[in-house]
Amino acid sequence: MRQLTFHLDREHVALNDLLKLTGASDSGGAAKALVASGAVRVDGVVELRKTCKIRAGQRVRVDGLEIHVAAG
């Protein structure tokens, strides 16, 4: 599994924006579809809310990629 650290420069980021910013999806629309399909896990739990607030310390998994969100 590939791992990536995303440095957060604010309090939180929407899940679909995180997927787009890290390159896990090609566009915002693709990110929303990915979340809606049930393919995204946040801290090990399937997340279906496209704009779920992701904060520092959380881990997001999608398609063989684990994104660790760290404080800026």
Residue 72 has a pLDDT of 83
pLDDT tens digits, one per residue of 2-45: 999 999 999 999 999 999 999 999 999 999 999 999 999 999 99
Per-residue tokens: 49: 């809310």
Q: What is the pLDDT of residue 10?
A: 95
Structural domain for 58, as ranges: 2-71
Give yes or no for a contact between 16 and 8, defined as CB atoms under 8 angstroms apart.
no
In this structure, what DSSP letter does residue 58 have? -
- pTM for the structure as a whole: 0.94
pLDDT, tens digit (0-9, with 9 covering 90-100), for 46-61? 999 999 999 999 999 9
CATH number at residue 9: 3.10.290.10
How many domains does one find in the chain? 1
